[in-house]
Structure 1
Amino acid sequence: MAGCDRNRQKVWRNSVLSGAVKFKQVRQYVAVGLVALAMAGCAAMPERTGVASKASAQPLARMTVATPDLDHDLLAQLMAGELALSSSDLKGASQAYGKAMMISGDPEVAGKATALAIATHDPDAAGRAIDRWQTLGATPAQLAQARAELAVEQGQTEQARQQLSLLLASGDKDAWRMFGRVLIGSRDAALASNLLESLATPAKLPADPKAWLAMSQLGEQLGRHAYAEQIADEALKRFGTSETYAWAAQLKLDNGDRNGGLTLLKQAQVKDPSNIGLRLTYASLLGQSGQYAQASKMLEKGPQNAQTYAMRAALAASAKDNKSLGQVYQQLSQAPADVREASAYLLGQLAEVLGRKEDALKWYDQVSDDDTHAFDADLRTAILLQDLGRSAEAHQQLAEMQTDYLDQPAQLRRAYEVDADLYLRDKRYVEATNAFSHALQVAPDDPDLLYGRGLAYAEIGKIDQAVADFRHLLKIKPDDIDASNALGFTLADAGRDLPEAEKLIAAARAAKPDDPSIADSWGWLQYRLGHLNQAAEVLRNAWQAGKDADVGVHLGEVLWKQGQHDQAQQVFDQVRRMDPQNPTLQQTLKRLEP
């Protein structure tokens, strides 16, 4: 049966060690089929006799297939282990691999059994697995790492120190990486820190800057800042690479030494001016301290890629420097094709900022479907189409998005919300309420959606529905000032529940005493209460503060009711010049001048 064992292990290696760590159902059945074929070749065939068989006899009927029990079936145990792993059942996986390693002659199986036993905190199973792994041919470094992990797991400091020393002395090219894995996996940070500081000293670390940086970073992760800085500073002196400068700078920044960190980053950038990562880090820190121009100037020099252009654009935007934004846009639009493709969304944003809406549409159209900004590019396309007077295309774009993102609730909600907002812009309030309602089916009780639909309902005179939305919103967010103001105004405008309206608007006014929209609500409430002089005073102040069309209409009506028709007409004329199609103005004039 030795041949059978080799065949069975070969099948396992092809299906598991090749990278298919988690078996899928189809692969399970395929694997079982392969095993059946492999076993068929190992079947014990009866010896031929001199008697001819019947013509109807089936050859396979005469075969005797050796079928091992599950505990001795290697592939069954391997599959059980992988299935347990796919279900996050580490204990079950450890048990299965513990059985598999005793059947298999492959050291990798024993190695996995060892790792699982340690992960499940089973020292006895781990000890057996390590012994089996050694028998099957584990390297000295692998054994030392496993025994060190087990010792760390059990809190045996000296045993761990001994095994880690053996690991570092093994000559394995990955010894320091394996050393780090032992410590980073420890549940006892104090023990790990003790071992790190005693074994990874400047005298023992190899002549490899990556190892020094890794140990310094490990020290920082374990909370040993002094050790991390010592190793980082020594690495900087010994190797002076841009990476050692960058890490030493990062430590200074993390410890509050901003100037020291910036100085080191500057030196690193000078040492390796083509290192884009260093330039981006240095520019980011300069930008955080408000040195936008210096950061931009530094980034302009040297190689450019999508990240440098994005950072330059962000710096220019922070500085409100449209000239620099234009320069970035010009350079980026002429960059190599791969950079332009990766930056299509940024190019669209820049074109929008610069007022080039048609160009922005073209760039957004080039954002690939697998780009992280694909959804945002589609949204911006719809908004731009609306801005360009192509409302039907805008809503068609959003309708397609609502279909495309049916299985992504967050994106679907946003597509409906933008659809509703665009209808509000066009004062198509019925369509807006429908879009908000669709969005609320995706995200029930969403405060922004309830607020938007409440406003739309109020505009088409569905006061009961508007009041219901605002009241529901205030149950969800009792301190929502805008909702309090909206409900108060809606009630006041409808002339109902005025005491409640007064309470709501007064609360909003106390929270935002200088908000013109709240002042408008308060003035309009006073008008409904019959306090014309107080209403006129409040509305006049709000009108002068913001020149909002609806505030002007309200002020004009109050003045008209006071008999000041000339002043009222002057205000109405100003509103007409601002917003000739204002529906509130038209309705008010019809009511006042029948």
Structure 2
Amino acid sequence: MNTLHRIAGPSTQPAGLVRKSALAVALATCFWGASAQTTPAAPAQAQATASDAGEIVNSALNAPLFYQLLLGELNVRAGEPGTGYSFILDAARKQRDPLLYRRAVEVALQARSGEAALAAARAWSQEIPGSSEANRFVLQILLALNRVNETGPVLQSILKDVSAAERNDTINAVPQTFSRVTDKAQAAAVVREALGPYLKQPAHAAAAFTSVGRMYLAQDQLPEALVSARLGHTAEPASPFPALLALELMERGEQAAEPIVHQQLAASSIATSADTAVALAYARILLDTQRNQEARAQLEKLTTRQPDQAEPWLLLGSLQLQENALPAAAASLEKYMALARQAGDERSARGLTQSYLMMAQIAEKRQDFAAANAWLDRIENADDVMAAQIRRASLLARQGRMAQARALLRSQPERRPDDARLKLVAEAQLLRDFKAWREAYEVYGEAVARFPDVADLRYDQAMMAEKAGKPADMEVLLRALIAAKPDFHHAYNALGYSLAERNVRLPEAKKLIEKAVELAPGDAYIQDSLGWVEFRLGNTARALDILQAAYGKRPDPEIAAHLGEVLWSQGQREQALKIWREGLLLSADNETLQTTLKRLRVKP
């Protein structure tokens, strides 16, 4: 359990701190109102304890103390929280009662008096040494007051007092606890010092190094975070904690973290939820980077080891559908739906909607339009109706009823402010899917007129202008977008690539693409554009280096087309054919790749 986050609510009351005075509980219930509702289990627990023991537990309150608490609560109710706080805190000190200390803290927080809350929490911690709840209140209040330099000893006490079984969860919660601190360097220094002893303990080193790494990550210090992940993995190779940090680093472009993930997956049995999280997150990253074959291998391994886990089946079905393996995709999705229906939670409900949409797509690909509509009929959530109607429009278009498809999308009600834009984008995308470039260009123009501040719409309109045979219009639109949003790197890249593709104004094209690289240095598609313009300029060796790096970062059919052509021009025919075959496996109908092969008269 996550100890640092157990600050409020019924589950936060440690069993040893349950009030043994039935009268005190009754007092809290009668006079604390809504605040008393945060510990509803206390009366029941007190009664159960007394009943089980067969004893009557008398109150430790005397009449003056009872009256003092009554005055305190009445003052709070009357809008005098300061006076009420003083009465309650004094009673807590006299009784050494954690419930009363907690109430004093709550009154101070409700009155927005952080210093008073801190004073009560510290008094609680001093009067009842070893109270983890008191220390957690002190820590959170110090962080809220931005007194980070004072949190170290408190954090150390929390880590020391928590049970060994819960300590790793507590350590893992530390970065989140400090996440809102503005001075990230100071927070990292405090956390490193507090975790120092646990870096050397085999049972806790992996979690401790991971939390230290996350503190580095919060400062964008990726190399230091990577070192921490490696040290944590070395301490415990099967631990999922360093691997999860490594996945975060991969998402930030740190590819050197990937071996940690490989090694953790090899060392673990994928038996725990954390192990499953590593495998699933890794599969998603592989899918995002179009490393589909590796993603499929991970998902197939995961579904074999844990066939009762629903989510891997959904991801596997999605990938199989993308690869047009329709029978396998349908089987995976059927398995997912059976498991998701058993779960019955909100996450599963969203997954079921996705699976219905994919099953409809499978039926559409099989030309079984009635079955496709039947799957869409299962979608009942209003928030998902638009997705279902987009799929219905696709079904109509595939039957040659494009006008009806467009009318269906236009007729959808606009339940949310964004729905009007989504309807136009869906219509334009439908037209793009059917290569109706001119009509798509016009719909994007309508969208831009209604939503002129949405840069993505202006960019998409420019892309359709090029497809519709209007390169001059595309250039005007992109230059206007650059003037309005000078940091919109896609516009520089698109204009530069268009010039390079048409083999015109190449120096200007290179300058534009280099600006895009400056704005987004890690984007493989922009690197592809730079490699392509270098090739057009005759700088073949440099083009080859850039394209190989881009393809290594993101295997993509369009990058494969360009890299293969550069290799082909250099006489490296076998290597070119290999790259093109890989590109065809990624997307057999990619327009750029097919155009390249046709122009060069090559059949890989």
Aligned-residue offset at 1:412: 2.0
Out of 4, 11, 29, the position equivalent to 1:116 is: 29
Out of 118, 130, 139, the position equivalent to 2:60 is: 139
Out of 449, 458, 473, the position equivalent to 1:512 is: 458
Superposed counterparts of 1:162-561, under 5 Å: 162-170=87-95, 172=96, 175-176=97-98, 178-184=100-106, 188-190=110-112, 193-194=115-116, 196-197=118-119, 200=122, 208=130, 210=132, 213-217=135-139, 219-220=141-142, 225=145, 232=151, 254-273=180-199, 274=201, 275=204, 276-301=206-231, 302-303=235-236, 305-321=239-255, 324-335=257-268, 338-339=271-272, 342-347=274-279, 350=282, 353=286, 355-356=293-294, 357-367=296-306, 369=308, 374-386=309-321, 390-405=325-340, 409-422=349-362, 426=365, 428=367, 430=369, 433-434=372-373, 437-443=376-382, 446-473=385-412, 475=414, 477-480=419-422, 481-486=424-429, 504-508=443-447, 511-513=457-459, 518-519=464-465, 522-523=468-469
Offset from partner CA, 1:244-296 (integer Å, 9 cap, x none): 99999989864421221222222233332044554333222322333333212
**Distance in structure 1 (CA, Å) of the matches to 2:396 and 2:588:** 22
Q: Contact 1:229/1:251 (CA < 8 Å) preserved in 2? A: no
Shift in CA distance, 305/236, structure 1 to aligned 2, threshold 3 Å: closer
Offset from partner CA, 1:391-431 (integer Å, 9 cap, x none): 2132133234445545664232111122234556x574737
Q: Contact 1:164/1:179 (CA < 8 Å) preserved in 2? A: yes
**Distance in structure 2 (CA, Å) of the matches to 1:389 and 1:463:** 24
Offset from partner CA, 1:455-474 (integer Å, 9 cap, x none): 33212212343122221348
Structure 1 segments unaligned to the other structure (5+ residues): 1-106, 124-128, 525-537, 550-575, 586-594
Q: In structure 1, what residue type is equivalent to 2:301?
A: K
Shift in CA distance, 345/166, structure 1 to aligned 2, threshold 3 Å: closer
Q: Contact 2:152/2:190 (CA < 8 Å) preserved in 1? A: no
Percentage identity across aligned positions?
Answer: 12
**Distance in structure 2 (CA, Å) of the matches to 1:494 and 1:212:** 65
Q: Contact 1:454/1:469 (CA < 8 Å) preserved in 2? A: yes
Structure 2 segments unaligned to the other structure (5+ residues): 1-19, 37-42, 44-49, 51-55, 163-169, 450-456, 471-494, 503-528, 533-556, 558-583, 595-604
Q: Contact 2:152/2:191 (CA < 8 Å) preserved in 1? A: no
The DSSP-based 3-state class of the residue aligned with 1:256 is coil
Q: Contact 1:413/1:443 (CA < 8 Å) preserved in 2? A: no
**Distance in structure 2 (CA, Å) of the matches to 1:295 and 1:494:** 47
The DSSP-based 3-state class of the residue aligned with 1:478 is helix
Please tell me the root mean square deviation across aligned C-alpha atoms, in Å: 5.5
Q: Contact 1:213/1:235 (CA < 8 Å) preserved in 2? A: yes
Shift in CA distance, 438/346, structure 1 to aligned 2, threshold 3 Å: farther
* Bigger Rg, which one: 1
Higher normalized contact order (CA 8 Å, seq sep 6+, divided by chain length)? 2
Aligned-residue offset at 1:152: 4.0
Shift in CA distance, 441/154, structure 1 to aligned 2, threshold 3 Å: same
Tell me the matched-pair count: 412
Q: In structure 2, what residue type is equivalent to 1:282?
A: V
Q: Contact 1:450/1:470 (CA < 8 Å) preserved in 2? A: yes
TM-score by length of 1: 0.54
Q: In structure 2, what residue type is equivalent to 1:184?
A: E
Q: Contact 1:268/1:278 (CA < 8 Å) preserved in 2? A: no
**Distance in structure 2 (CA, Å) of the matches to 1:402 and 1:203:** 50
Aligned-residue offset at 1:168: 2.2
Q: In structure 1, what residue type is equivalent to 2:257?
A: S
**Distance in structure 1 (CA, Å) of the matches to 2:190 and 2:174:** 7
Offset from partner CA, 1:493-519 (integer Å, 9 cap, x none): 699xx8xx8853433577334557623
Q: In structure 1, what residue type is equivalent to 2:353?
A: R
TM-score by length of 2: 0.53
Aligned-residue offset at 1:382: 1.4
The DSSP-based 3-state class of the residue aligned with 1:507 is helix
**Distance in structure 2 (CA, Å) of the matches to 1:139 and 1:367:** 54
Q: In structure 1, what residue type is equivalent to 2:244?
A: A
**Distance in structure 2 (CA, Å) of the matches to 1:245 and 1:359:** 29
**Distance in structure 2 (CA, Å) of the matches to 1:451 and 1:197:** 59
